[in-house]
Amino acid sequence: MLILECPYCGVHAEETELHAGGEAHLKRFGPGSSDDDFENYLFMRENPKGVHFERWRHVNGCGKWFHAARCTMTLEVFGTYSAQTTEPPKDICDKISAKRPGWSWRNFS
Amino acid sequence: MSTRIQTGGRLIDRTKSVTFKFNGRKLQGYAGDTLASALLANDQMLVGRSFKYHRPRGVVASGAEEPNALVNMGEGAFFEPNQRATTTEVFDGLTATSQNHWPTLEFDVGAINTYLSRFLPAGFYYKMFMYPRAFWKHVYEPFIRQSAGLGKAPKQKDGSDYEHFYAFYDVVVIGGGIAGLQAAKTAAAAGAKVLVMEQTADWGGRAVVDGAEIDGASADAFVAATVAELQAMDNVTLKTRMMGAGVYDHGYLLGYERVSDHDPSLAGPRHRLWRIRTAQIISATGAIERPLSFAGNDIPGVLLASAVRDYLVNWGVSIGERTIVVTNNDDAYRTAIALKQAGLSVPMILDARKSGGGALAQQARDMGIRVENGKAIAKVHGGKRVTAVSICDQAGEGVVLDTIGCDAVAMSGGWSPVVHLYSHCGGKLNWDAEQVMFRPDLTRMPTNQNGQGFVMPAGTANGEMSTAATLADATARALDVVAALGKSAPTLTAPTAASEDAAAIEPVWMMPQGANIKLRMKSWLDYQNDVKVSDVQLAAREGYESVEHTKRYTTLGMATDQGKLSNINGLATLSGALNADIPQVGTTTFRPPYTPISLASIAGSARDEVFQPIRKTPMQDWHMANGADFEPVGHWRRPYCFPRAGETKAQAVEREILQTRKSLGLLDASTLGKIIVKGPDAGKFMDMLYTNMMSTLKVGKCRYGLMCSENGFLSDDGVVARIDENTFLCHTTTGGADRIHAHMEEWLQTEWWDWKVYTANVTEQFAQVAVVGPNARKVLEKLGGMDVSKEALGFMEWADGTLGGFDARVYRISFSGELSYEIAVPASQGRVFWDALLAAGAEFNVMPYGTEALHVMRAEKGFIMIGDETDGTIIPQDLGLNWAISKKKEDYIGKRAQERTFMVDSKRWKLVGLETTDGSVIPDGAYAVGEGVNANGQRNMIGRVTSTYYSPTLGRGIAMGLVLDGPDRMGETIEFPKVDGGSITAKIVDQVFYDKEGTKQDV
Amino acid sequence: MKRYSIFAVAREAARYHTGWDRAWASPEPKKKYDAIIIGAGGHGLATAYYLGKNHGIKNVAILEKGWLGGGNTGRNTTIIRSNYLQDPSAAIYEKSRSLYETMSQDLNYNVMFSPRGVIMLAQTEHEVRGYLRTAHANAQQGVATEFIGPEQVKKLVPIINIHGPRYPVLGGLWQARGGTARHDAVAWGYARACSDMGMDVIQKCEVTGVRRENGRVVGVDTTKGAIDCDKLGIVVAGHTSDLAEMAGFRLPIESVALQALVSEPIKPCMDVVVMANTVHGYMSQSDKGEMVIGGGTDGFNNYTQRGSFHHIEETVRALVETFPMISRLKMLRQWGGIVDMTGDRSPILSKTPVDGVFVNCGWGTGGFKAIPGSGWAMAELMAKGQSPLTDEFSMWRFREGKFIDESVAAGVAH
């Protein structure tokens, strides 16, 4: 039963207030993209045992989408941040580095 | 025999007697009794039968760990099986019956299994009952099912109420013994908001039974003072009859409060499930005594030593007149001493340790009790109750030295800390070889969302066995928790207790050590499931070496007590059989709940009408008052049709359709989704959302549009109206409103967040009515106030105005093929508007129609329906909707996906109309078959029906379907096999059956 | 192998069961095998079994990180059915169901397959149409199902409330030869049979790397050393992404928690399996008497084998509404497993970009029922390079847009 802090409204939201939205920081590939890129974009997913970046929506709350950095093995939450960014913010990455030295996720570390 | 003695019993009120029934027999107990203590007070030693062998079973414990004393409780709507007598407080009028026997508890035919037990070892069913094959389902399984199970199945709907409760704390202390109370006091003194819960009705736990001394006074005095102190604090909540049921991630904790189980006459809910979020949990859950494994340790009258003491001290009940105590540790001496002090006989204490016990042993000897070191029980004699015990050397193979008459045996194999709650979220344990127990490893505590430990064991639950150590540990662990909360430590004087001079426990996993197979086959590990030492050894021999394999193969620990008594003994037996260390073998996983909790408490109050919320349109009351037959659509309930007296549903639908086509029908369309998309970039966004070009739609006009998922599949459709340059109103399907609004927000917030667009789901802000039929215009003209003529309001246009005094937005759109207006008014005026339409339409014999008429009329017109023609695998191109897909746009959601090889495959089934050759209706869901079979032997299929109805308008069956090469095969016939034989032949035709030219809707 | 029978049990009883052999051997790994299967769950063991039985490939090792049958095989609600809508699903699940019919005899291990029947309730008009469609499809696929009315549902399940005020039962899709089996026994029976064929079931042996040369697999690194092989089958459910990464490719898989629970045991009160998809819950009664209950998955990636309590709550609420008499029964135990979900919620049985490496995963919430069929098909794929049962389940279908979507007809994947 997760609790995530919504970075928009500041509420420590119960899992029942939230909707999980899958992997974060996907880059959209539209018409004209290669089959490879499109398949990767739509289906291939990071599925790590450890640090993961994912999307959530505070659906029964302020309605905003946001991102969370979370460990899939312990469910520890390293931080939540705006959905309107293409990469995790530095302060969250630093926080993860302090707790999980040597971590990496996609091309972030 | 077990009986109530003249004095004692700290929990009972001898002035208040209660009457209850067991197996139809009227018995007396006292207020404060548990059902178990009251039964024992009445010499009811035999209380049930075991699961597999139907062996006689008596009470063995005094609390939540009890595996045997399970009863059917109550009657009728208040009947409940498997109620644990040791945790059931007795009340006036309680009725209980024993379980798992036929015909009676005393004489149970199933007990034949005990004579067959040699043929029924662990896992016997995996090795037999295989032939003949059909016998499993028809003979063996029914027999096994009938003899298994425990309590009876309830017959009626539950007559009690239940509720949920939400709560938030800094610290929740689980367990109201001295450790829990001391920890709570420490945390509360630091200013934390604290909840303390105790599963029984009384505070104090073991210390008050064992007569511990704290700060020079009795434990009772300490408990009373501490409880009073806590009660006086504003930041502390104290709860009895509430169990910590389960610990979940991020500090989520379930508290199971049995509000009125002890007195069903109380008003209010029976159980209350507390859903708690807490920063820290202190698990002061104490420890559970382990049985010893000797032959006949399951005979009624053999109890845990602590239970014998509990019954004596708490309830004034003696289990027997002559009790033999057998132990591998000092604690059981307390039982002997207490019995002796109560004037009962203790013929002998058998201490399996060669060097015997410490100070308590000396005290026992001083009282004249015979203590035999290095001795063990070879065998307990008796059937339905204990008659004698044969004694042997622990170090030997069971040669009987002596046989002593007795009527009770008090056994102690040591204590296991209750680590369940600590373990639910992944807390790890260490094996403490010195104390012979698993105890929490505080360096591997379960962690919360911050990566911080959040379940702190304290006192005995943390492996501290003496009063002094328990109190010290409780204080220290509570200070750890205070520090974890970031609060400063309070100044408190920790209570003290004298240190105890105890001799060390010695591991004794089998009694005697060299017991032969005959004895091992009579030495029970799991009383309820009938698992013996020999069974675990057999599992190991056969290669079921993992502790999980052994558990599952033998069913050890899988009974309703979840192995509270049996797990460690079983594990030790397994490690012995494997010649491995106990920690190497490991434990099974502790899972919630700590003890079983009612399903009703989990479901809470959401039952029957309030099971799920019902969404209602402003006209819902009218529908209900006018006999609507409802169907659930999402959380809405929409009228399917409005049958009149004597009418079937089909007849009602036919009447509604014919009248609408002939004159005038009304549809409550309020459930249709209405979403406003607004902003300078609204047009750009609409072009991405819809396959059509929406940005070119003129203000005042409507356009039918399609929305796809990014995976290319058609997801929703509806009419879009352009309200002004920056504003669109999107209609969605009833089921699609929330989903599509979420879809819009997702794209706007996570992909195109720099676009200036806002959305709002205004579905419930408007009541919407479709006014349909040749007389639709006339009725609106009658209401007056707006020009709804063809010239002023053409087909696929909309206008705002005042209609019959109502603020209205009128859309000239049609889903039926008739002249049709959909009129939105503010929701608050919906019902009045509906009534006004009915009144104005009376002269045209207006008829409300339901969803089925809606479906049939749209099918007659060849319109697709999301959910019928689509199913999540259909792209617009499959449905011949290419006209609604803009060729000019570079991009829209789903466009790239629709370019994939399988999406452009010419072999995709395409939508066509289907007309049966005999006029009948093709069954819902029918498939059309082609020649031959595929590689897996399945009939090749070439199409399927998507919508199929009897058309009252045409007087015949009509259908739409997806067919291989369909549009190229117009006029050909295909076969639809029926599930019950035979088939229906249908001709492939155009999908528009009614008014192909579209003249009727455009008048 | 000593055959199991009532006579063998009687014979052993005479000597207090001291003469039973190990059900499976506990060997150390050899240097090389013709084929290695990673994962000694039901699917992995069944794959090995049919490699030996159907294709004569017996120099096989099955490597298991923990204890055999310890993943989802031992954690599921044991429902067996084949009333799937899409052709490829119906084919493999029906193959599987039919193999369950004779599994006890084939393996000489009683897996207690109980063809007691499975009902999927229709509680909305949409569901009615969906199940009618499935019934029609099944008729052409050789799967025996029928759509039955509410009175027949009530007759089969007397404890059901068909007049629920919120979602009355409108009928159901009935598969009379669906049912349940004893999950652990399936793994144990296959393990015993594999061991008997001379295969090595190696427990507590974790694979740490997949060794490749020139785009072809040559072996694996394990906690018990390097082992060579010609072919490698990855059959590890929730842990597939890890293994795929070791082999150098990616899969459209996410791992989430699925939960289940049982009540305390009671005397028989329900003889069939009931699935109620509108309200999200399903229930059967085990031979022991427990009501076995399951529901939906969590929505987020999770490897903890624990789920969120609100799913338990939703499921229990749905079932108390559907079966009012269970209200006063008690939840004995709840647990979770990690299931791997693909992009279309259907499994992947496929060759991979690495020659000699095959993958069997993505069974999501419905893997137990597929064990024998999946093993049969996977063995054929590994032995011959192709199987009609696996053709449509290729890992490349996502690129083509050729999905196998079972959610379409009110169906669920459980």
Q: pLDDT by residue (tens digit) across C256-283?
A: 999 999 999 999 999 999 999 988 899 9
Residue C13 lies in a domain: no
Digit-coded pLDDT (tens) for B486-517: 999 998 888 999 988 999 999 999 999 999 99
* All structural domains of chain A with their residue ranges: 3-99
How crowded is residue B738: how many other Cβ atoms within 10 Å of its Cβ?
16
C338 and C400 belong to one structural domain = no
* B901: nearest CB among C159, C333, C401: C401
Q: Which of B82, B146, B542 sits opposite C22 (nearest CB)?
A: B542
Size of interface B-C (CB pairs under 8 A): 335
User: What percent of chain B clears pLDDT 70, i.e. is strictly above it?
Assistant: 100
Residue B468 belongs to a domain = yes
Q: B909 and B875: one domain?
A: yes
pLDDT band at B149 (very low <50, low <70, confident <90, very high): confident
Mean pLDDT (chain B) is: 96
Residue C411 has pLDDT above 50, yes or no: no
Q: Does C242 touch chain A (CB under 8 A)?
A: yes
Same domain, C28 and C102: yes
> Would you say residue C403 lies in a domain?
yes
Residues B279 and B216 reside in one and the same domain? yes
The CATH number given to whatever domain includes residue C337 is 3.30.9.10
CA distance C344 to chain B (A): 10
- In terms of domains, do C169 and C187 share one? no
pLDDT band with cut points at 50, 70 and 90 for residue C409 = low
Residues for chain B: how many in total? 1003
Say if C15 falls within a structural domain. no
CB atoms C310 and A1 under 8 Å = yes
Alpha-carbon span C292 to C273, nearest angstrom: 10
Could you tell me if A27 lies within 8 Å of chain B, comparing CB atoms?
A: no
Q: How far from C222 is each of A97, C25, C194, C209, CA to CA, in Å? A: 29, 19, 21, 7
**B677 and B728 belong to one structural domain:** yes
Residue with tokens 């959380």: B635
**Whether pLDDT at B13 is above 90:** yes
Residues B167 and B228 in one domain: yes
B765: DSSP letter: G
Claim to verify: residue B407 and residue B470 sit in the same structural domain: no
The enclosing domain of C246 has a CATH number of: 3.50.50.60
Q: How many CB pairs under 8 A join A and B?
A: 66
pLDDT band at B115 (very low <50, low <70, confident <90, very high): confident
The answer to whether residue C4 is domain-embedded is: no
Average pLDDT for B351-373 = 97
Task: Out of C317, C342, C367, pick the residue that ends a domain.
Answer: C342
Superfamily of domain A3-99: Folate-binding superfamily (3.30.2270.10)
Residue that terminates a domain, selected from B745, B764, B783: B764
Nearest to B596 among C136, C264, C289 (CB): C264
Q: Which residues share a beta bridge with B943?
A: B928, B963
Per-residue b or e along C119-155, where b marks 16 or more CB atoms closer than 10 Å to that residue's CB: bbbbbbbbbbbbbbbbbbbbbbbbbbbbbbebeebee
Q: What are the pLDDT digits (tens) for B377-401?
A: 999 999 999 999 999 999 999 999 9
Portion 31-60 of A in contact with B at CB < 8 A: 31-33, 35, 38, 42, 55, 57, 59
| Shared-domain flag, residues C171 and C194 | no
To the nearest whole Å, the CA of C313 is away from the closest chain B CA by 6
Domain co-membership, B252 together with B214 = yes
Residue B418, number of CB atoms within 10 A of its CB: 25
Integer Cα distance of B753 and B735 in angstroms: 26
The answer to whether residues B864 and B981 belong to one domain is yes
With 60 as the cut, is the pLDDT of residue C413 above it?
Answer: no
Tokens 């995790």 label which residue? A88
Q: What is the average pLDDT across B144-172?
A: 95
Digit-coded pLDDT (tens) for C15-73: 999 999 999 999 999 999 999 999 999 999 999 999 999 999 999 999 999 999 999 99
Q: Which of B125, B541, B600 sits opposite C20 (nearest CB)?
A: B541
The answer to whether the CB atoms of A64 and B449 lie below 8 A apart is no
Domain co-membership, C41 together with C169: no
* Nearest residue to B576 (alpha-carbon basis) of B293, B353, B295: B293
Average of pLDDT values for B198-216? 96
- List chain A residues with CB under 8 Å of B895: 30-31
- Note whether C98 and C131 are same-domain residues: no
> C interface mutation test: which of B49, B127, B630 has the most C CBs within 10 A?
B127
A15 to chain C: which residues are within 8 Å by CB? 308, 310
User: Can you name the residues that pair with C292 across neighbouring β-strands?
Assistant: C262, C284
CA dihedral defined by B181, B184, B186, B189, rounded to 10 degrees?
-120
Count of structural domains, chain B: 6
* C244 min Cα distance to partner chain B (Å): 24
Interface membership of B384 toward A (CB under 8 Å): no
**Do residues C234 and C240 touch, judged by C-beta distance below 8 A?**
yes
Nearest Cα residue in chain A from B753: A84
Chain B residues touching residue A76 (CB < 8 angstroms)? 447-451
Contacts of B631 in chain C (CB under 8 A): 124-125
Residues C281-296 have pLDDT tens digits of 999 999 999 999 998 8
* Rounded average pLDDT over B23-38: 98
Contacts 24+ apart (CB under 8 A), B939-947: B939/C140, B939/C141, B939/C142, B941/C87, B941/C137, B941/C140, B942/B909, B942/B974, B943/B909, B943/B974, B944/B909, B944/C133, B944/C136, B944/C137, B945/B914, B945/B976, B946/B868, B946/B869, B946/B911, B947/B855, B947/B859, B947/B865, B947/B868, B947/B869
Q: Are residues C104 and C31 in the same domain?
A: yes
Is C149 contained in some domain? yes
Min Cα–Cα distance to chain B from A20, Å: 12
Query: What value does the CA radius of gyration of chain A take, rounded to a whole number of Å?
Result: 14
Residue B841 has pLDDT above 70, yes or no: yes
pLDDT for residue A82 is more than 50: yes
* Rounded Cα gap, residues B543 and B554, in angstroms: 12
Could you read off the pLDDT of C350-374 as tens digits, one per residue?
Answer: 999 999 999 999 999 889 999 999 9
Residue B152 lies in a domain: no
Question: Which of B720, B840, B825 has the alpha carbon at shortest distance from B768?
Answer: B825
Domain with B527 in it: 523-593
Contacts of B75 in chain C (CB under 8 A): none
Domain boundary among B565, B593, B621: B593
Helix axes C371-384, C42-55, angle to 10 degrees: 50
pLDDT for residue C410 is more than 90: no
Q: Name C300's Cβ contacts closer than 8 Å, sequence gap at least 6.
A: A2, A20, A54, A70, C256
Q: A99 pLDDT band (50/70/90 cuts)?
A: very high
The answer as to whether C240 is a domain residue is yes
Between C407 and B967, whose confidence is greater? B967
Chains contacting A (3 or more CB pairs within 8 Å): B, C
C410: left (phi over 0), alpha (psi -120 to 50) or beta: left
From chain A, pick out residues whose CB is under 8 angstroms from the CB of B249: 1-2, 75
Using a CB-CB distance cutoff of 8 angstroms, which residues of chain B are in contact with residue C6?
127-129
Asked if B40 and B18 sit in the same domain, the reply is yes
B399 and B320, same structural domain? yes
Shortest Cα distance, chain B CAs vs residue C336, angstroms: 9
pLDDT-derived band at C414 (thresholds 50, 70, 90) equals: very low
The verdict on C337 and C193 lying in the same domain is: no
With DSSP H G I counted as helix, E B as strand and the rest as coil, what are the percentages for chain B, rounded to 5? 30, 30, 45
Q: Does A10 touch chain B (CB under 8 A)?
A: no
State residue C412's pLDDT score.
42
> What residue of B is the nearest CA neighbor of A59?
B742
- C388 → chain B, closest CA residue: B935
Residue of A1, A76, A84 with shortest CB distance to B753: A84
Chains touching chain B through at least 3 C-beta pairs below 8 angstroms are A, C
Residue that finishes a domain, picked among C342, C357, C391: C342
- Out of C299, C327, C342, pick the residue that ends a domain: C342
C8:B127 CB<8 A: yes
Q: Please indicate, yes or no, whether residues B683 and B708 belong to a single structural domain of this protein.
A: yes
Contact C310/A at CB under 8 A: yes
**B863, B984: one domain:** yes
pLDDT of residue C165: 80
CA closest to B449 among chain A residues: A76
For residues C175 and C307, membership in a common domain is answered with yes
pLDDT tens digits, B597-619: 999 999 999 998 889 999 999 99
Residue B1003 has pLDDT above 90, yes or no: no
Q: Are residues C189 and C277 in the same domain?
A: no
Task: Provide the residue range defining the domain that includes C100.
Answer: 23-109+182-251+344-409
What are the pLDDT digits (tens) for B898-928? 999 999 999 999 999 999 999 999 999 999 9
The residues, ordered by sequence, that sit 6+ positions from B162 with a Cβ below 8 Å of its Cβ are B269, B270, B271, B272, B273, B598, B600, B601, B603, B604, B605
pLDDT single digits (tens) A20-71? 999 999 999 999 999 999 999 999 999 999 999 999 999 999 999 999 999 9
Q: CA-to-CA distance for B84 and C329, rounded, in angstroms?
A: 13
Point out the domain boundary residue: B764, B780, B813: B764
Domain count, chain C: 2
